[in-house]
Amino acid sequence: MPILEVQALSYSYPDSPGPSLHGVNFKAEQGEFILVTGPSGCGKTTFCRCLNGLIPNSYGGDFRGEVIVDGLATTEHPVTEVAQRLGLVFQNPENELFCTSVEREVAFGPENLSLPRSEIKSRVDEALSSVGISHLREKSPEELSGGEQQKVAIAALLTMKPKVLVLDEPTANLDPLSAESVVNILAGLNRRSKVTIVLVEHRLEMAAPFADRCVIFDNGTISHDGPPADVLYSDGVDALGIGIPKVVQIAKILAAGLGFEGRPLSSRELSDMLEGERKEANIMGRRADV
């Protein structure tokens, strides 16, 4: 059974002239790393809020269709219950972190679940170390950099032991090095604990190499959904206003100019593929000589 299932989802915010989402169908299996992108205002944030139940439970509005998280329909279960299976990380850590120490921040979730103290302590220790911030335990979130704050936000959700982590542009306000660090942590979590990751991200070149799937939203609905190479190399994707990685642009030109057939998502892949084609050309050349 898929861990996440969205069927015919349509949604309009209260007092809004039109729907922010319409006819959205989406599935995710446990352990997938899914990259979500799309031009501004296409409904990505709304989609994230629908996934953890904030829509429709906290936001009201006109909600149609179904969102099922680990077997729970978001319209029939409170956010607090869905939140134990799906964690949502937002863009701006300053609005997510509201305690004065990292340790307490990370403990907030399990405390709400009324878990025994020893369980809370072990979950906090585990979450801090899996995100690599155990050394920040005693610090106040105010003292941390943006990247560290986002890691605290991630750790704070990991203590809920979610099966899915949804992150809505978590690196938007971060400098490139911190952004890379956060994405690497997510990739690590996905590999080791098989947490399903749904990452909304503009910097495709950073995240695409880790992703199993790439989903593009356009005007409130999903226009592309498939393996990153398939999606990013498909025709018409350039017109959507998303940041196509330079390596993809280069590969497309090389395809026209050199008959290059590879579909690399990173410079390492491009380099390997070029070498592969070169070797093949040499072999072919030698065969022709013979």
> Which residues 247-266 are close enough to bind other proteins by CB under 8 A?
247, 249-250, 253-254, 257-258
Helices (H), the chain: 44-52, 54-57, 79-82, 102-112, 117-130, 146-158, 176-193, 204-207, 228-232, 246-258, 267-289
- Per CB under 8 A, 39 contacts other proteins: yes
- Cα 175 to Cα 163: distance, rounded to the nearest angstrom: 28
Number of residues that bind other proteins (CB under 8 A): 82
Rounded to a whole number of angstroms, the minimum distance from the CB of residue 102 to other proteins is: 11
- Per CB under 8 A, 242 contacts other proteins: yes
> Which residues 76-95 are close enough to bind other proteins by CB under 8 A?
79-81, 83-84, 87-88, 90, 92, 94-95
- Per CB under 8 A, 113 contacts other proteins: yes
- Applying CB under 8 A, among 271, 279, 283, 284 the residue interacting with other proteins is 271
- Applying CB under 8 A, among 12, 32, 43, 52 the residue interacting with other proteins is 52
Contacts with 95 (C-beta within 8 Å, 6 or more apart), sequence order: none
Q: Please work out, in degrees rounded to the nearest 5, the angle formed at the alpha carbon of residue 177 by the alpha carbons of 176 and 181.
A: 115
> Which residues 219-238 are close enough to bind other proteins by CB under 8 A?
none
- Per CB under 8 A, 101 contacts other proteins: yes
Nearer to other proteins, 7 or 145 (CB): 145
- Per CB under 8 A, 200 contacts other proteins: no
The single residue listed with the structure tokens 């990013």 is 232
- Per CB under 8 A, 7 contacts other proteins: no
Classify strands 62-69 and 72-73 as parallel, antiparallel or unpaired.
antiparallel
- Per CB under 8 A, 60 contacts other proteins: no
Nearer to other proteins, 25 or 184 (CB): 184
Q: Please work out, in degrees rounded to the nearest 5, the angle formed at the alpha carbon of residue 174 by the alpha carbons of 173 and 176.
A: 135
**Residue 12 neighbours by CB distance under 10 Å:** 18
Shortest CA distance to 210 belongs to which of 245, 234, 261, 163?
A: 245
Stretch that binds other proteins, among 2-10, 68-76, 135-143, 190-198 (CB under 8 A): 135-143
Nearer to other proteins, 142 or 235 (CB): 142
- Per CB under 8 A, 189 contacts other proteins: no
User: Is the preceding peptide bond at 116 cis, omega within 30 degrees of 0?
Assistant: no
Nearer to other proteins, 16 or 25 (CB): 16
Rounded to a whole number of angstroms, the minimum distance from the CB of residue 10 to other proteins is: 19
Q: Which two tokens stand for residue 174?
A: 């971060």
Nearer to other proteins, 123 or 213 (CB): 123
Q: Please work out, in degrees rounded to the nearest 5, the angle formed at the alpha carbon of residue 136 by the alpha carbons of 131 and 139.
A: 140
- Per CB under 8 A, 125 contacts other proteins: no
- Cα 67 to Cα 57: distance, rounded to the nearest angstrom: 12
> Which residues 152-181 are close enough to bind other proteins by CB under 8 A?
156-157, 160, 169, 172-178, 180
Which helix (H) or strand (E) element contains residue 84? none
